[in-house]
Chains A and B, each alone.
Chain A
Amino acid sequence: MKTGEMPDHLVNLALKEGATDVAVKLVDKDEVVIRFANNEVTVSKAFREVLFDIFLLIGKHRAATAVPLSSKENLETEVRNLVKTAKITPPAEVYAPLPQGPFEYDPRLTKGSRISLEPDRLTGYVEEAINGALDAGAKKVAGTLVATRATVSLSTSGQVHVTEKKAGLEMSVRAFASDIASGHWVSISRGEKGLEPGEAGRKAGEIAKASSHPRRGEPGKFTALLGPMVFADLVNQVGMASSAFLVDIGQSFLAEKMDSEVASSEFRLIDDPTVADSFGAKAFDDEGVPTKRNTIVDRGVLKTYLHNSTTAKKFRKETTGNAGLFSPRPWNLMVGSGEKSFEELLAEVDKGIYVTNNWYLRYQNHRTGDFSTIPRDGMFLIRRGEISSCIRELRISDNMLRVMRNITELDRSHSWIKWWEVVVPTLAPCAVVEDVSFTKSSM
């Protein structure tokens, strides 16, 4: 039996063994990872990964597993064991059958894009990034290029039999002007045409060069000008907190906020995996439901949670096409941009801090949204509308809802961001946020 025929075979086997609902996803992925440091490539790897995600229900009893490519007999054994596991698993609160197809899918999304995994070609992109940063004033450049081509096939007991081709390029560039002067930028793209490695390098290099001779920042409440890397992280948090599963288990600061003001009226957040040329484009979710554009926050007001069929039944809503078999999740977040340029936003800040990057956003309380995160790379004091000096060693310690409500303006340009800290591809502008709390170490 061919590998591509296995999902249907495993679905039928699970049904025969007693499952009421089954979904089998086959991901066949080719990936090249090129890592670079000190202005040169340090490692280049190419590998193929074939993985079966198997999910089944026996009424309210659920079980799931992920199995690498194996023999037909081994995969069948995994399915039989999974049925046994489901039978002894405590029942869930609700039983929602997997959505019944067949469905129609957007061919622009299922056919995917084409990228080359040719090493010389990819190394060329890396050289563009390194040169972009060096030309901008960096002394050392490091980072990663990940190129992925995948075929995703999904079969379910709900008459879903669909295949989607996916491809993507992720360039992450970190530039250093000295040991403590650094800048970071990324470029992600569904195809080679949209990748901008030189531009990512240039921006990282410019931030690094401007970060020379930083001094310790002083804590307090400041107007914050958050660059796209930072704002994308905050937007990710809002997008992920809109998962109805996280709302249901009390792990979301958006719980009990439906139709309420959760952000400034300047803020509009959309999850749209139907934008065919974007990195996070996706034709169907993990239940086989066609994806669609969902407006999560409109003019600051929370309009929907993201649902799979189980959360939809529990919340008495329709699925939004965001399964996640256990927890719904956003696919491709987009923030509506503003009207002013970055320079105009900067000019309006009398006393503030410009933060270009951050990491380690962690919650003190998921339910209330109290969190902190650490700025890294270039961070700058703003005085009377101009960048006055570089600072470091401050932390943003605030509340997610308060930050989102204190947005006053957004940049008219925006960048696609995804990296270690920002998990979901996010189109984000710069944001001006009033009264952001910055703290520092006490000793």
Chain B
Amino acid sequence: MYSECHSPGSSRAVAYNREPIVRMANTFLEPGDHSQEELLEDIKEGVYIKNFMEWNIDDRRFNQRYVGLEAYRIEDGELKDMLRNPVLEVTTVGLWSAVDAVGNDPQFQAAYCGKGDPMQAIPVWTGGPHIRLREVKLGGA
């Protein structure tokens, strides 16, 4: 089923000999108004996942998993000792519904978006601020 709408101009190809695919380009989470300190200070017991290693997502883009690489325990609003490989295994709805605060500190990075078969890996610019998730179960089920 196709909706009656105009193209937002999101179609790109990696080369002249590959067909354009609807895909991300400069994609980032809009910053909020919390400083990193403000995000931390309300957390009595939590985990700060600074970056991640393993990740994957299913073909409906619904079930996803991220495993923290550099991560710390949070206690009474302060960063404590490092944690090894916290696992966030969550649905898309579960992930974004748990966001209760968004930072004002966006950071960006060059990356690749992979799509298509044969594969088209295309450069993208992506990033966002810190986000805080409430009542998230870490460790997978």
Q: Which A residues are within 8 Å of any B CB, using their own CB?
A: 31, 33, 35, 43, 45, 47, 49, 144, 146, 172, 180, 219, 359-365, 370-374, 376, 393, 395, 397, 419-420, 439-443
Q: Contact at A362–B54, with CB atoms within 8 Å?
A: yes
Q: Looking at the assembled complex, report how far the CB atom of A92 sits from the nearest CB atom of chain B, in whole angstroms.
A: 26
Q: Which B residues are within 8 Å of any A CB, using their own CB?
A: 16-17, 19, 53-60, 62-65, 67, 85, 87, 89-91, 94, 98, 117-119, 136-141
The one of B19, B56, B63, B119 that contacts A420, using a Cβ cutoff of 8 Å: B119
Determine the residue in chain B with the shortest Cβ distance to A371.
B54
Q: Contact at B141–A360, with CB atoms within 8 Å?
A: no
Q: Contact at B85–A364, with CB atoms within 8 Å?
A: yes
Q: Contact at B59–A442, with CB atoms within 8 Å?
A: no
Contact flag A440-B141 (CB < 8 Å), given A33-B118, A374-B63: yes
Q: Contact at B53–A440, with CB atoms within 8 Å?
A: no
Contact flag A364-B67 (CB < 8 Å), given A43-B19, A219-B141: yes
B87: which A residues are within 8 A, CB to CB? Answer: 397
Q: Contact at A420–B117, with CB atoms within 8 Å?
A: yes
Determine the residue in chain B with the shortest Cβ distance to A393.
B63
Determine the residue in chain B with the shortest Cβ distance to A423.
B119
Q: Looking at the assembled complex, report how far the CB atom of A258 sits from the nearest CB atom of chain B, in whole angstroms.
A: 26
Q: Contact at B136–A443, with CB atoms within 8 Å?
A: yes
Q: Contact at A365–B53, with CB atoms within 8 Å?
A: yes
User: From DSSP, what is the main secondary structure of chain A's interface residues?
Assistant: strand
Give me 15 other A-B pairs in contact (C-beta within 8 A), A360-B58, A361-B56, A441-B65 excluded.
A45-B17, A144-B118, A172-B117, A219-B140, A360-B56, A362-B54, A363-B53, A374-B59, A397-B140, A420-B119, A439-B65, A439-B140, A439-B141, A442-B139, A443-B94
Q: Looking at the assembled complex, report how far the CB atom of B77 sits from the nearest CB atom of chain A, in whole angstroms.
A: 24
**Could you tell me the distance between the alpha carbons of A439 and B89 in the complex, rounded to whole angstroms?**
8
Q: Contact at B94–A441, with CB atoms within 8 Å?
A: yes
B119: which A residues are within 8 A, CB to CB? Answer: 420
**Could you tell me the distance between the alpha carbons of A144 and B54 in the complex, rounded to whole angstroms?**
28
B139: which A residues are within 8 A, CB to CB? Answer: 442
Q: Looking at the assembled complex, report how far the CB atom of A420 sits from the nearest CB atom of chain B, in whole angstroms.
A: 5
Q: Contact at B137–A374, with CB atoms within 8 Å?
A: no
**Could you tell me the distance between the alpha carbons of A25 and B18 in the complex, rounded to whole angstroms?**
23
Q: Contact at B94–A144, with CB atoms within 8 Å?
A: no
Q: Contact at B57–A146, with CB atoms within 8 Å?
A: no
Determine the residue in chain B with the shortest Cβ distance to A394.
B63
Determine the residue in chain B with the shortest Cβ distance to A366.
B53
